[in-house]
Every structure is written in C-alpha cells, then in structure tokens.
A and B are shown apart, each in its own frame.
Chain A
Amino acid sequence: GDSVTQMEGPVTLSEEAFLTINCTYTATGYPSLFWYVQYPGEGLQLLLKATKADDKGSNKGFEATYRKETTSFHLEKGSVQVSDSAVYFCALTKAAGNKLTFGGGTRVLVKP
C-alpha cells in the first residue's frame, strides 16, 4: 500500500537557521503531495501542496518540490523563527482509493 516516510524528530534549531525536513513516499500512480503543520494544541492546517511532478509548493517562506524521480517532497525554509516551532506532516492522496496517507510527523523546535 501507499506510505509516507519522514525524518524522525525532534529537530532543534536556532533562530535564522536553515530547515530541511525529508519526506519520501511510496505510491502507485500520480499522488498529490501535501505538507501540513500542527501548532501546539491545535489541529493540522495546510502549509503547501503540489499536485504533479516538478511542481513547487510555497507558503510562509517554506518550499517543497515534487520530485517523481526520487519520490520525494522535502520541506525547506531558509531562515526559521521561533514561531515555526510545530509538528510538520507530509501526506499524499490519490484519485484512486480516496484515502489519505500521512507520515509520522516531525517535531521542530526553534530556539531564540
């Protein structure tokens, strides 16, 4: 079946550091890929998405590129802030099946 693998956290960074969270997937067909963010005590919210190969999603300084050749969708941000401390989830969905598959989540802690 489909699966999403994320790097395990926690990831601890200093403010203004560069952040990368790796995400790779296994899926047949052509999934859509998403990054969701969960701030403490809240539900998940969409951070960015990409629906086809080579698409780049971007939002709030975060970027991720859909790489079909490496089945990856790594999340990056050039300069993190304390307010970026959260748990980040990579996810995929497909037209066939209509289920959603999430990675295990990566906790990020940004220190001042």
Chain B
Amino acid sequence: EAQVTQNPRYLITVTGKKLTVTCSQNMNHEYMSWYRQDPGLGLRQIYYSMNVEVTDKGDVPEGYKVSRKEKRNFPLILESPSPNQTSLYFCASSLITSGGPDTQYFGPGTRLTVL
C-alpha cells in the first residue's frame, strides 16, 4: 500500500530535550516536505527536499533541522524544542512535474507538545 508513515504519532516532551520525528514514504517520490498545522494559521511549510541531499527552507524553518540521506526518509529534528513548537506536524511526499511539486501525499500527523 502506498503510504507516508510518521513516528511517533504523539509526543510530549520538555523544553530543550532533542527529538526526532521520522518520516518515510514507499512511493519513490523525489519531493518530501514537513508542515506544521496551528489553529488559525493553517498549514505552513517548514522544510522541503527535492531529492537526496537537497533540502531547502520553507516559510517557518527556525528551530528545525532536516536531512535527506535516503530517498524514502526525511526526518525532522528539533535540537532544542521550545513551547512555541507545540503543534501538529505533517510529513508529505510527491512527484515533481514541470509545474513543480505535484499532489502531496500526507502522513497521519504527529501531535507534539513541548512543556
């Protein structure tokens, strides 16, 4: 089954404790991306990757890191989480067309709470 998986689905942590949220896709997509969803702010892009070893900042990259060492995986790293990073996070992947990233396939989401 074609899918994007994220782990963990729920995480409660404390300020400053490094964490990683994993994301994996089995569709051989070149494009992968992380978003955060906050009430009243909709969905905002954190980082994206066009292919292995190619990553770039989205609209809200501060406080986050990513890596793309393999095509299927795109982990999101919070080196020193802060309470303002409490949010619902989505990973997504897609093919890339001549018009840019195509239909995004989203993971189920990770609800992060930073105390």
Contacts and interface: CB of A to CB of B under 8 A. Distances in A.
A31 B100 CA distance: 9
A42 interface: yes
Contacts, number: 71
Interface in B40-59: 40-45, 48, 50, 56, 58-59
12 contacts: A42-B108, A42-B109, A46-B103, A46-B104, A89-B42, A93-B100, A93-B102, A95-B100, A97-B100, A98-B50, A98-B96, A102-B35
Interface in A30-84: 30-32, 34, 36, 42-46, 49, 51
Contact of B108 (A43, A89, A93, A97): A43
Name the interface size band of chain B.
20 to 34
Interface residues of A, number: 27
Contact of B90 (A32, A44, A105): A44
B74 interface: no
B8 interface: no
Contacts of A34: 103-104
B42 A103 contact: yes
Interface in B64-115: 90, 92, 96, 98-104, 106-109
Contact of B101 (A89, A100, A104, A105): A100
A43 B107 contact: yes
Contacts of A98: 31, 48, 50, 56, 96, 100-101
